[in-house]
Each structure stands twice: as structure tokens, then as C-alpha cells.
């Protein structure tokens, strides 16, 4: 009787190794989107693939607490802790939006120990904007 050939990558045998821990990311891009109601921090590698992300709502802040600078600080710290463990040393920062969490998130990034190559404001600005509504007739 022939022996059964064991499957190498089956679920029963367990995972061979965690892929996230083996990936080393020396340089990345930190995107901060600060709106009036929430702050979202996304960390990508240089090719644009998302490595880690966090938001004020993800950090258990609800309602009007999500818009506070403290919530943005917590979200930035949480997103960056994961990538520092993966070996990130240098990063570029892109800040978008008019929210209160802009400065607090940047302060948290600076205190994390990652060297910032540059900080850029990428808030979209209309050159001429939308067409205004037609004149009101009474």
C-alpha cells in the first residue's frame, strides 16, 4: 500500500511563517488625512502598498471625540508602532485636509523616532472651483 503524500501548505499543518513579520521596510510614506470629523493615518512603502493604518474611530473614539487632536495623536502613534517594529527608519509625510488633528499627528510622528525626509501639505485646492448657482429671481 502506497503512502499518502502530505500537503505542505494545508491549513491542518498550520501556517509555515507569518509574512508580515519577515518583510523589512526601511523607508516609507506616511499619509495623514485630517477631516473635520476624523483623522486617518496610513503608512505605505515607497511603492504605495499599505503596510499599516489607523484612524481615530479605530482607536475607540466615538462622536465628537474623533475630531480632537488627542484622538489624532493616538491614531498616529498606533499606526507607526507597527511599522517601527518592521524596521522603518526614514519616512516622508503627506498631510491632507483642514482638520484639528494635523499638527497633533505630525507631533506624534516626530516623537516616534522615525527620521522625516520631508513634510508636504497635499490638501486639494480648487483653481477656479465649481460654477456658482444662477442669480436668484424674486
pLDDT digits (tens, 9 = 90+) for 48-83: 999 999 999 999 999 999 999 999 999 999 999 999
Q: What is the pLDDT of residues 85-122, one digit of tens each?
A: 999 999 999 999 999 999 999 999 999 999 999 999 99
Domains of the chain: 27-121 (3.30.420.80)
Helix axes 101-111, 69-85, angle to 10 degrees: 30
Amino acid at each position: 500500500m502506497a503512502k499518502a503524500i502530505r500537503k505542505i501548505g494545508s491549513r491542518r499543518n498550520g501556517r509555515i511563517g507569518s509574512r508580515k513579520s519577515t518583510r523589512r521596510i526601511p523607508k516609507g510614506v506616511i499619509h495623514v488625512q485630517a477631516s473635520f470629523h476624523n483623522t486617518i493615518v496610513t503608512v505605505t512603502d515607497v511603492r504605495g502598498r499599505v503596510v499599516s493604518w489607523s484612524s481615530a474611530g479605530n482607536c475607540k473614539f466615538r462622536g465628537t471625540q474623533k475630531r480632537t487632536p488627542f484622538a489624532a495623536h493616538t491614531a498616529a502613534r498606533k499606526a507607526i508602532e507597527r511599522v517601527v517594529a518592521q524596521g522603518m527608519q526614514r519616512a516622508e509625510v503627506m498631510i491632507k485636509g483642514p482638520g484639528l488633528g494635523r499638527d497633533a499627528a505630525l507631533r506624534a510622528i516626530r516623537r516616534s523616532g522615525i527620521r522625516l525626509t520631508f513634510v508636504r501639505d497635499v490638501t486639494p485646492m480648487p483653481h477656479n472651483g465649481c460654477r456658482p448657482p444662477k442669480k436668484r429671481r424674486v
